[in-house]
Amino acid sequence: MQWSKLKTRVKGFICPELKDVIDFHVTQYRKAHSWISESWITVHGERVFDCGSRTYAREAAYEVLSHEDSSSDVAGETWNMHEILKRREIHEPQYMGEAMRAYLDLSIDEALKSDNPFIKALAIVDRRVGKRTLERLEIDNTEHSLVRTFYELRCASAHI
């Protein structure tokens, strides 16, 4: 699916109060080495979520080198660079597009329970989520910053 169609379909699910507030962006720098790409989300024109190939590659290399230098591996614990970066909220640029495609195929209940923070954030601002469902959600400080941002934004727009 083309980016413009995907963006339009996802924005169609956003509640009317936030439809003009939240926007999704993606770009590729074709003349740059390795086709550097970047994805980001804006709220009122300010970036609240960002994922770029350059940042991801730099942080991934740092984690690999740190892991190789470290002799303090815990016995039986597997090392997963992608999970470490995900916990640090550093994502690959295609993460946003993949999550948006997956979101379109999920029911709203499945999306709200998703382990993927991007899918969960989209579900929170979905027009199909009512006030009672929003009030029942338990969002704490351990949630991804995008989930917390969208939750606060939606609660403010719903006067909760």
As averages over each run of 10 residues, the pLDDT of the chain (160 residues) reads 88 92 81 64 87 59 54 51 64 78 94 91 93 88 88 89
From residue 61, alpha-carbon distances to 33, 68, 82, 106, 132 in Å are: 17, 11, 11, 34, 44
DSSP-assigned beta bridge partners for residue 49: 41
Which domain does 107 fall in, by range? Answer: 3-157
Number of domains making up the chain: 1
Mean pLDDT taken over the chain: 79
